[in-house]
């Protein structure tokens, strides 16, 4: 059996729809032929609606421009960061509009790489929509300076600081955990601050379980020695509302994550226990609630409603499941 991969987002999805996990985590393949459904599912998995694109742009600007400045013991030039992000909108828009994702990899395209859902399905993105994305990204980065400057100063003075920290480790011989932390820094000897940036206008307070999973990953992976649950400060920072929520991490929270990993892995087990070639999507239950399909990256493959334009590439013919 292939080792089970567990992360917070995968756990959330598998509790709604087994088939979505199979499509996105097992069936999708970046190196499949352009005519293969595996390649198309891979692209759909990466396709972003405008809200998700906005969030990714802000995260990228923080990772590429803000955190490097802090690591040099400097505060960033926020106007420069905003300009850089606006230019990135244009570059990614051109990449997606030209459908370069059909023949360029993420590695070769670098920061330009982008698959916009509306481009992929054939409807396209209008100029007014692009300008609105730019305004929203600018607004979020202005809020970063206006509402979270004290937090950035703390990070600047930290002993250690990392952005988009990737943690992958084996929990046991069956389960491998992964987590990508937006920002984490160490103050004093053993005081760890984990920050999760939110770029949505939904109510604040929805990152609690995600931050607990991040703390669990740091605690169990050995990234820092002698860590205890009480050594964490967990911060959910909403760059649209300017609000931040802080959480403590207890032994009870640690046990809850442990339990979530165990129960989630039991749900994931059927997806990983056989080679992917031995399964078809119908082997796995789809979401019971129609509302769960909203926002699903592969829903149009799953229900067979993908627009004809998406399949108009040369030689691109395959049976929708």
| Tens of pLDDT, residues 210-256 | 999 999 999 999 877 789 999 999 999 999 999 999 999 999 999 99
In a domain, 25, yes or no: no
d(CA 246, CA 236): 6
In a domain, 213, yes or no: yes
Query: pLDDT above 90 covers what percent of the chain?
Result: 74
Q: What is the pLDDT of residue 313?
A: 41
Q: What is the mean pLDDT of the chain?
A: 89
Q: What is the pLDDT of residue 301?
A: 78
Q: What is the pLDDT of residue 310?
A: 44
pLDDT at 163 over 90: yes
In a domain, 60, yes or no: no
pLDDT tens for residues 63-88? 999 999 999 999 999 999 999 999 99
Query: pLDDT above 70 covers what percent of the chain?
Result: 91
pLDDT at 271 over 90: yes
In a domain, 147, yes or no: no
287 or 69: which carries more pLDDT confidence? 69
Out of 29-38, 44-53, 134-143, least confident range = 29-38
Range of the domain at 171: 158-249
Closest CA to 155 of 195, 114, 108: 195
Rounded to 5°, the CA angle 317-320-321 comes to 150
In a domain, 222, yes or no: yes
The domain total for the chain is 1
Q: What is the pLDDT of residue 1?
A: 62
- Predicted TM-score of the model (pTM): 0.90
Residue spans of beta strands (DSSP E) within 28-147: none
d(CA 11, CA 2): 17
In a domain, 215, yes or no: yes
pLDDT tens for residues 173-212? 999 999 999 999 999 878 999 999 999 755 445 799 999 9
Per the CB < 8 A criterion, the answer to whether 268 and 6 are in contact is yes
In a domain, 34, yes or no: no
In a domain, 179, yes or no: yes
Q: pLDDT-derived band of residue 130, with 50, 70 and 90 as boundaries?
A: very high
Q: What is the pLDDT of residue 261?
A: 97
SS3 236: strand
Q: pLDDT-derived band of residue 318, with 50, 70 and 90 as boundaries?
A: very low
295: left (phi over 0), alpha (psi -120 to 50) or beta: left
Q: What is the pLDDT of residue 202?
A: 53
- Give the CATH number of the domain where residue 231 resides: 3.90.320.10
Q: What is the pLDDT of residue 269?
A: 95
β-pairing, 175-187 vs 160-170, is antiparallel
Start-end of H helices in 98-250: 106-109, 117-121, 127-156, 208-221
Q: What is the pLDDT of residue 81?
A: 98
């Amino acid at each position: 059996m292939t080792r089970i991969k567990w992360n917070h987002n995968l756990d959330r999805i598998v509790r709604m729809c087994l088939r979505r996990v199979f499509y996105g985590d097992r069936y999708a393949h970046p190196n499949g032929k352009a005519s293969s459904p595996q390649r198309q599912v891979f692209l759909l998995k990466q396709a972003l609606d405008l809200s998700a694109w906005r969030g990714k742009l802000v995260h990228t600007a923080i990772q590429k421009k803000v955190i490097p400045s802090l690591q040099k013991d400097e505060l960033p030039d926020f106007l420069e960061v905003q300009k850089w992000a606006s230019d990135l909108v244009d570059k990614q828009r051109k990449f997606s509009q030209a459908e370069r994702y059909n023949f360029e990899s993420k590695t070769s395209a670098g920061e330009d790489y982008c698959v916009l859902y509306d481009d992929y399905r054939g409807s396209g993105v209008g100029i007014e929509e692009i300008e609105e994305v730019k305004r929203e990204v600018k607004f979020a980065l202005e809020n970063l300076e206006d509402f979270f400057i004290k937090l950035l100063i703390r990070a600047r003075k930290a002993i250690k600081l990392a952005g988009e920290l990737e943690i992958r480790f084996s929990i046991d011989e069956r389960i491998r955990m992964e987590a990508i932390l937006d920002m984490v820094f160490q103050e004093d000897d053993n005081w760890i601050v984990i920050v999760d940036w939110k770029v949505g206008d939904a109510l604040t307070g929805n990152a609690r379980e995600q931050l607990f999973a991040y703390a669990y990953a740091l605690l169990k992976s050995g990234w820092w020695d002698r860590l205890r649950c009480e050594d964490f400060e967990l911060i959910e920072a909403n760059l649209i509302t300017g609000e931040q929520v802080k959480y403590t991490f207890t032994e009870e929270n640690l046990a809850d994550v442990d339990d979530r990993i165990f129960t989630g892995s039991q749900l994931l087990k059927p997806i990983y226990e056989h080679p992917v070639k031995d399964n078809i999507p119908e082997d796995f239950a789809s979401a019971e609630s129609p509302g769960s399909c909203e926002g699903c990256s592969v829903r149009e493959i799953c229900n067979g409603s993908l627009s004809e334009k998406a399949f108009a590439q040369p030689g691109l013919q395959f049976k929708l499941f």
